[in-house]
Amino acid sequence: MNNFLLSVIVPVYNEESNISPFLKRLLPVIKKYQYELVFVDDGSTDETLAILKKEAVRNERLKLISFSRNFGHQSALTAGYENCLGQAVVTIDADLQDPPELIDKMIQFWQKGYRVVYAKRGKRWGENYFKKTTASLFYKLINALSDVPIPQEVGDFRLLDRKVVDYLNRLPEHSRFLRGLVAWGNFPSKDIVFERNERFSGKTHYPLSKMVNLALDGITSFSIKPLRMATYFGTASGILGFLGIIYELTRKIISPQSFVIGWTGLFTAVMFMGGIQLITIGIIGEYVGKIYQEIQKRPRFMIKEKINF
Ligand code: UDP
Ligand code: MG
């Protein structure tokens, strides 16, 4: 049953204090398989790379890709997918928020024929109320907008079959919202629920700004509904404005003495319209920016060094 190659991809960005504890927990789990462990160093500025290089000398199955600078989590995962060889490919975070022990269960389901096995976040420990609410809001929003159902509470801890990895590697787009891209393929999939622990050490590298970027990327990659909504809003406020003009004109003709000029109404209307216009321009800008990035066809990341490949 175990004559397959398992690839484990770990994106790391400034995780110096997490690597040893992570390896201590991960290695006993994957030792029973033929494995390759692919670390992608996403331009860390601390000792992460040095520690990984030392580990790579001791263990030749530990492979290392290092980026020339920080390109982001999704790019690191993409580099892992493009450089791994396994029939089953697991992506996992290095901060022990994703329990490595779950990999056994993922493999069992994979062997039953599922092409995608998601680890779904049940309880979340040690993440504050704000992070949990914004995360759940994000999943709701993206599902309301996207034409592809994107699984709720599912992060990037998952197992993919080689077929799915090949499919991802063939996708030409620059922008990589991997959770959406995997869902888009609609492969037979299975969820395993787990309790998400606190970070072993260090702080999250997903502050609000990066979460907003990820959300915008996810939405603009999978839906043009925001553009359509801009059209709807514009049409609705246009019709309202037109009705308002007719109303005022009629009033002026029928009873000119009751015609009072109030600036509050005018001011609110101008502010409201100004707001809607700015938001609309912003939405269009998001998509124009996306088109610009796609036609530049710049590589998603620059690899500085590869070890043990
Ligand atoms: N990470 C990365 N590049 C980044 C940010 C994060 O490779 O620009 C890695 C990070 O080292 C970790 C994983 O992606 O292994 C998840 O990041 P983090 O734990 O900060 O996110 P959270 O779990 O808080 O969503
Ligand atoms: Mg984390």
Beta bridge pairs of residue 41? 12, 66
105 lines ligand 1 (CB under 6 A): no
List strands edge to edge, sheet with 154-161.
189-196, 116-124, 154-161, 88-91, 5-12, 34-41, 62-67, 303-307
CA angle 133, 15, 37 (to 5 degrees): 105
Position 44 scores a pLDDT of 97
Q: Which atom of ligand 1 is nearest to the CA of 13?
A: 11
Rounded CA-CA distance 16/202 in Å is 9
In a 13 Å sphere around the CA of 157, the CA atoms on its Cβ side amount to 25
Minimum CA distance residue for ligand 1 atom 3:
73
Phi (first) and psi of residue 222, to 5 degrees: -120, 5
Give the Å distances, CA to CA, from 282 to 115, 159, 236, 275, 305. Answer: 38, 36, 19, 11, 38
Q: Which of 67, 87, 64 is nearest to 4 (CA)?
A: 87
Rounded CA-CA distance 174/299 in Å is 8
Position 149 scores a pLDDT of 85
Q: Name every residue whose Cβ is closer than 8 Å to that of residue 295 and which is 6 or more positions away in sequence.
A: none
Question: How far is C-alpha 163 from the chain's CA centre?
Answer: 21
Position 188 scores a pLDDT of 96
Q: What is the biggest distance separating any 2 CA atoms in the chain, rounded to whole angstroms? A: 92
Minimum CA distance residue for ligand 1 atom 2:
73
Position 261 scores a pLDDT of 67
117 Cα: distance to centroid of ligand 2 (angstroms): 19
Give the Å distances, CA to CA, from 263 to 237, 245, 267, 306. Answer: 19, 16, 6, 67
This model's pTM is above 0.85: yes
Can you read off the two tokens belonging to residue 45? 């500025």
Rounded CA-CA distance 50/307 in Å is 12
Position 260 scores a pLDDT of 65
153 Cα: distance to centroid of ligand 2 (angstroms): 14
Would you give per-residue pLDDT tens digits along the chain (309 residues)?
Answer: 689 999 999 999 999 999 999 999 999 999 999 999 999 999 999 999 999 999 999 999 999 999 999 999 999 999 999 999 999 999 999 999 999 999 999 999 999 999 999 999 888 777 788 888 888 888 888 888 888 888 888 889 999 999 999 999 999 898 899 999 999 999 999 999 999 888 888 988 888 888 888 888 888 888 888 888 888 888 888 888 888 888 888 888 887 776 666 767 788 888 888 888 888 898 999 999 999 989 998 999 999 999 999
Q: Which atom of ligand 1 is nearest to the CA of 203?
A: 20
